């Protein structure tokens, strides 16, 4: 009994420390975001006495955050839609269609997961520049699809591998084509996995800075994360407004996490726990 109690403490104490280390930066940023410059200079760690909500308004409207927010929303929505479409089709083909070279293609997807983006960023930007897609929404969408498609294919292949093969075989016996079996049977059955993978892809795309900075260099086309990063130089002497911009950028991610945290966990283990 005593050993079990000590075992729980051994697990609980490091986890509590990890939770505190994760939550403190967010609490600190939220506190600084509603401080005046004078309060921040006098004591940056003390709780604010009178919250200044106009810092948030200035970060949202005064420095173009609303435009950056719209850019991120458009790019992330289009990227996730294409990732789920192509990822689910490829996952179905690799998991349930028997064709020559499928194992090689699957191993290629696995290998792509371990290639750092820094290795491919020069050829990727060169291809986008040669095709006139730099500083355009389609260019950034295609870059995100290229970067995150292997991850989507891997998870969807794992999920579709757990679906009984008899379901697809029955559809083929009834005269359905492979595309028909995918569209009418496998795609609806994969809805839970698609939701989980879509949430993860959306978080990856929303939090990205490096790819967006390379593909969308002009100020008008910046995504929210790139725009917030640029505020650091513009507001180096007004940290509360900069912290307000960071907080605005983090709110959508926090909302998605709080609403869909169970789906996010399911997406990481998609296909691994189904019998």
Residue 138's nearest CA partner among 153, 128, 152 is 128
Cite the DSSP H helix spans in the chain.
2-33, 37-42, 54-57, 65-96, 102-112, 117-130, 137-161, 165-173, 178-181, 187-189, 191-207, 210-215, 224-234, 239-268
Q: Which residue has the tokens 């690799």?
A: 94
Give the residues of the chain that fall short of pLDDT 70: 1-4, 62-64, 232-236, 264, 266-275
Alpha-carbon gap, residue 192 to 195, rounded angstroms? 5
Extract the tokens encoding 231: 């505020």
Q: 56, exposed or middle or buried, with CB in 10 Å at 0-12, 13-18, 19+? A: buried
Q: Which residue has the tokens 């994760």?
A: 22
Alpha-carbon gap, residue 248 to 73, rounded angstroms? 14
Q: Are 204 and 84 in contact, with CB atoms under 8 Å apart? A: no
Angle, CA of 67, 73 and 79, to the nearest 5°: 135
Q: Which residue has the tokens 């401080």?
A: 35
Residue 240's nearest CA partner among 55, 105, 102, 78 is 55
- Domains belonging to the chain, first-starting first, are 5-51 (no CATH), 56-271 (1.10.3720.10)
What's residue 4's pLDDT? 67
What's residue 179's pLDDT? 85
Contacts of 112 (CB under 8 A, 6+ apart): 150
Cite the DSSP H helix spans in 162-219.
165-173, 178-181, 187-189, 191-207, 210-215
Extract the tokens encoding 196: 């989980």
Angle, CA of 237, 28 and 75, to the nearest 5°: 80
What's residue 275's pLDDT? 40
What's residue 121's pLDDT? 85
Q: Which residue has the tokens 């800075």?
A: 209
Alpha-carbon gap, residue 72 to 68, rounded angstroms? 6
Alpha-carbon gap, residue 192 to 84, rounded angstroms? 12
Q: Which residue has the tokens 């998605």?
A: 256
pLDDT digits (tens, 9 = 90+) for 174-229: 878 888 888 888 888 888 889 888 888 998 998 898 899 889 888 878 888 888 77
What's residue 55's pLDDT? 81
pLDDT digits (tens, 9 = 90+) for 188-200: 888 888 988 888 8
Contacts of 63 (CB under 8 A, 6+ apart): 227, 231, 234, 235, 241, 245
Distances (CA, A) of 74 to 141, 227, 231, 250, 272: 9, 15, 21, 17, 32
């Amino acid at each position: 009994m005593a050993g079990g109690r000590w075992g729980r403490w051994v697990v609980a104490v490091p986890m509590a420390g990890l939770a505190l280390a994760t939550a403190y930066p967010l609490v600190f940023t939220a506190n600084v975001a509603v401080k005046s410059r004078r309060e921040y200079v006098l004591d940056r760690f003390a709780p604010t006495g009178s919250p200044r909500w106009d810092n948030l308004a200035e970060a949202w409207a005064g420095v173009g955050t609303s435009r950056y927010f719209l850019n991120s929303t458009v790019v992330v929505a289009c990227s996730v839609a294409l990732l789920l479409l192509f990822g689910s089709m490829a996952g179905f083909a690799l998991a349930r269609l028997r064709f020559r070279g499928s194992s090689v293609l699957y191993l290629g997807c696995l290998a792509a997961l371990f290639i750092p983006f820094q290795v491919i960023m020069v050829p990727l930007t060169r291809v986008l520049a040669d095709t006139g897609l730099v500083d355009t929404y389609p260019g950034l969408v295609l870059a995100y699809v290229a970067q995150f498609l292997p991850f989507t294919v891997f998870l969807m292949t794992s999920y579709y591998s757990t679906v009984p093969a008899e379901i697809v075989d029955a559809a083929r016996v009834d005269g359905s084509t492979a595309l028909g079996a995918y569209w009418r049977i496998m795609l609806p059955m994969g809805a839970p996995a698609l939701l989980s993978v879509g949430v993860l892809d959306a978080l990856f795309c929303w939090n990205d800075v490096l790819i967006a900075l390379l593909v969308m260099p002009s100020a008008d086309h910046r995504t929210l994360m790139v725009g917030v990063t640029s505020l650091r130089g513009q507001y180096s002497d007004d940290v509360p407004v900069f912290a307000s911009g960071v907080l605005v950028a983090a709110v959508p991610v926090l909302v998605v996490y709080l609403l869909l945290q169970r789906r996010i966990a399911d997406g990481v283990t998609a296909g691994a726990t189904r019998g």
